[in-house]
Structure 1
Amino acid sequence: MAQVLSKGANAPLPTTEVRVEVSSSTPLDIAALLVTPSGKVRGDADFVFFNQPAGPGVRLAPPSALEFTLGAVPSDIDKVVVTGSLDGAAGPPTFAAVRGLAVVVRDARGQEVVRFDPAGLSSETALVLVELYRRAGAWKVRAVGQGYASGLAGIATDFGITVDDPGSGNAAASAPAAGPGAPPPAQYDAPTQVVSPPPGQQWGPPPPNPQQWGPPPGQQWAPPAAPPQVPPPGQQWGSPGAPPQAPPPGQQWGPPPGQQWGPPGAPPPPNPQQWGPPPAQQWGPPPGAPVGAGAPAGAVPGRVNLDKGRVSLRKGQSVSLVKTGAPPLVRVRMGLGWDPAQQGRSIDLDASCILFDDRGKDVDKVWFMSKKGARGAVRHSGDNLTGQGEGDDETIFVDLGALPQNVVSLIFTVNSFQGQSFTDIRNAFCRLVDDQTNQELVRFDLSESKPATGLVMCRLQREPGAPTWVMTAIGEFHDGRTVRAMVGPSRQYL
């Protein structure tokens, strides 16, 4: 008959081959830490969890068990700590709502030898359940039931695992200015080129006077030093040596008196005979367009927006997440996916989101060990260990309206925790979906791969002075196996 332990009690283990099983009303992430007499692990290899499922003498047995060969545990390890943590993205937020929590230790024959039922839990999001420890050359088990409010990352940090500065969740806290960094590549801030205004839009702001389709009084559209409005005596419009020309009946060469054609900052026309827009283009609203018709609020002239529906981006392109006549986006989700390059092989990659303020300081991170950030405005779906299957492998949810105002950029990254190279994957993509309508808004398919362990996939950035955001496709490879290692590379794309 199994021995039932109360919190703090211990019992001897009759064998060194044991299995620890955890059951509850909601699935838990089970992990183990191999700890020295100092109370710390020797290194990251002593952390056995869903992203590193085996260690010396310990093996994760999904979904909710650990198998031990205690005779194979290194002699400098004093104890093995067994933990359980809530997913953070699904299910109850704390252990207060978890029912039927039990820990059972079985011997090699599957017989139950020890049982522990943790109770009296409230705000905890992770627990040290039991620990297996050495005493006088033998192994024993102790019921612990110690809770943490900071999740699995908090437990790992407590035992000496270097995790990525688990944030307080208060992304609005003030932060010191970031040090000097590499200048951002120009192409990531350059708007997508559009050679003519989209239908229903116009170059520049709407004119204050419906009759005036030239520049406002005292301004001009083109560089200074306009050509003379009429040819000097004895000369004519046209190239030197060209035969005399005259404008078509009822028209005149050049702009109206006192004005000159050209969009803001445009160079002088290469052909001195052409003082109007290039062939098949126009400057100003289309014929019959309503006076004042222009870009939607928050849009940048010349940048693609969502008016024509789903946008497919190429590397370095940007899209304004606005649509004429529609309210600003509120809740979106970024889906990231990939496939193994070799059929049947598992590739474990991790999607993360790094939140930056306007000074380039990373104020929060959302990843597989810290699934919520920015006071819950950003949430992670959980870890995918294989890359198998269709659709998104991992998803990060973002409530744009709930983000603290000091968060101006979100960089989405993918990294290989186990060091697998991106040459082992294919079909990597990211896609932005309206979480309220389930409509795909933007997609970026990455066509290349490189022998690296990290990838900066894309960026969401606030439009200055507007409640709207811009998505930019980045698709640049770097070496970084954790989200902490991806902060520096990500900063150069702000």
Structure 2
Amino acid sequence: MTPGSNLPLTVARVAVDVTAPVRLDVSGLLLTADGKVRSDDDFVFYNQPNGPGVTHGAGAGGGGDAITVDTAAVPPDIDKIVVTASLDGPGATFAGTEPTATVRGADDGAVIATFTPPQLGAETALVVVEVYRRGGAWKVRAVGQGYANGLSGIATDFGVSVEEPAAPVAAPAAPIAPPAAPPVTQAPPPTGPAAQVPPPMPTTPPSTGKINLDKGRVSLQKNQTVSLVKGGRPVLSSVKMGLGWEPAFRGADIDLDASVIAFGVDRKKIDVCFFGKLAILNGAIQHSGDNLTGEGGGDDESITVHLGGLPSEVTGLVFTVNSFSGQKFTDVAKAYCRLVDAQTDEELVRFDITHAEPRTGVMMAKLIKQFSGEWEMTAMGEYVDSRTVRGMAKPAGKAL
């Protein structure tokens, strides 16, 4: 699954396993239509493993923890169950860690879906997936929303009462000189489910650990991600992805083909825009046409995407370049892609490929629609042996 995508559940009992290379604390919260728990009893975790229709336990094969949801037993006033994961180690973040949620039938173990939140950074806790009602049926949605203040940030966001430790009480100072530092008596620790949750940090907006456009034009390195928002709000309705290259050897012609593959739920290909199909999705994506030589300044080919005109089922776009004639990318110099505001022609994001491989295809960048509705661009630079975009669909889907 990709962020924001959803799938219908075909079984009444599902288990959501969350695994990672490091130890995680996995929890489930039962939320009403206003996005809050009814009481602390709706917070299901290792120290309170049973809630109405929801249980906490070991994942399949003993790997990680799992939240099991019996949809038939969930109270009617509960709208959704969110499954969260937080890091067990003090000060640890999800940077370099890829937690994976696997949704299974709780009775037969059959895999329904998997989801790995992309490009994590400074997050210390995540809402990974949610199981929710829609039109009398149950569905699962990939979320991947990050929090910088741990499980307590999630808990307080959803209405769980988190007790803060009482302030230390100072004992009376000794009455006779020489003065001495007064001893301190610590308050007793809190009890109950809230005692297992760390106290909340000072109020700050949740951090995604990603770059945004607040400081202007962004130059990406491979695997870096930029959120296409400024001042907390999406800033673009139409963008143009410009792709360029030059021959590595003077006098040579380089005929490369730029394309974009549109993906939907569960990484399924919806359509492809390339030199042989210059407009797709009712004109929401348009190609500039084929450049046969790679000569000249500026972008060799460009693809315009009207984000607001994309069908709702489109959640991911992967931009590729292929060498139909069979020339390898070691014969190409100065390959790059850049994201431009299609309204103003202002360059917003640029990615220069600094490493070439003797292959005939490269995935340049991807745009992913987030659960919140905003889009993010990630620099890829991943090479593939394929002379046409047709051979790029499978590796591109895996890369989402």
TM interval, shorter chain, is 0.5 to 0.7
- What fraction of aligned residue pairs are identical, expressed as a percent? 45
Question: Is contact 1:331-1:397 (8 Å) kept?
Answer: yes
Question: Is contact 1:192-1:304 (8 Å) kept?
Answer: no
Question: Is contact 2:163-2:190 (8 Å) kept?
Answer: no
Tell me the distance in 1 between the aligned counterparts of 2:268 and 2:157: 44
Question: Is contact 2:123-2:148 (8 Å) kept?
Answer: no
How many residue pairs get aligned? The number is 251
Q: For structure 2, which runs of at least 5 residues remain unmatched after alignment?
A: 1-110, 125-146, 172-179, 192-196
Give the drift of 1:361. Answer: 1.5
Give the drift of 1:351. Answer: 0.3
Give the drift of 1:389. Answer: 2.0
Q: Which has the larger radius of gyration?
A: 1
Q: Which residue is 2:248 aligned to?
A: 341
Give the drift of 1:256. Answer: 12
Tell me the distance in 2 between the aligned counterparts of 1:327 and 1:474: 22
* TM-score where L is the length of structure 2: 0.54
Q: Which residue is 1:305 aligned to?
A: 212
Gap change, CA 1:258 and 1:442, over 3 Å in 2? farther
Show CA shifts across 1:236-268 (max 9, x none). xxxxxxxx9889xxxx99999869xxxxx99x9
Question: Is contact 2:228-2:234 (8 Å) kept?
Answer: no
Question: Is contact 1:418-1:481 (8 Å) kept?
Answer: yes
Gap change, CA 1:348 and 1:216, over 3 Å in 2? same
Asked whether 1:493 is paired with 2:399, we answer yes
* TM-score where L is the length of structure 1: 0.44
Letter of the aligned partner of 1:395 in structure 2? S
Gap change, CA 1:464 and 1:229, over 3 Å in 2? same
Q: For structure 1, which runs of at least 5 residues remain unmatched after alignment?
A: 1-179, 196-201, 234-243, 260-264, 269-275, 278-282, 286-293
SS of the equivalent of 1:491 reads helix
Determine which of 364, 371, 385 is the counterpart of 1:479: 385
SS of the equivalent of 1:484 reads helix
Gap change, CA 1:393 and 1:246, over 3 Å in 2? farther
Tell me the distance in 2 between the aligned counterparts of 1:306 and 1:472: 14
Determine which of 186, 189, 192 is the counterpart of 2:118: 189
Question: Is contact 1:335-1:395 (8 Å) kept?
Answer: yes
Gap change, CA 1:229 and 1:442, over 3 Å in 2? same
Gap change, CA 1:220 and 1:465, over 3 Å in 2? farther
Letter of the aligned partner of 2:256 in structure 1? L
Asked whether 1:434 is paired with 2:346, we answer no
SS of the equivalent of 2:317 reads strand
Letter of the aligned partner of 2:272 in structure 1? K
Question: Is contact 2:213-2:226 (8 Å) kept?
Answer: yes
Q: Which residue is 1:218 aligned to?
A: 161
Give the drift of 1:302. Answer: 2.2
Determine which of 323, 327, 349 is the counterpart of 1:416: 323
Question: Is contact 1:352-1:368 (8 Å) kept?
Answer: yes
Superposition map of 1:375-414 within 5 A: 375-414=282-321
Give the drift of 1:216. Answer: 6.9
Show CA shifts across 1:305-359 (max 9, x none). 1111111111111111111165541110000111111122111110000011112
Tell me the distance in 2 between the aligned counterparts of 1:382 and 1:303: 33
Q: Which residue is 2:227 aligned to?
A: 320
SS of the equivalent of 2:253 reads coil
Tell me the distance in 1 between the aligned counterparts of 2:310 and 2:328: 33
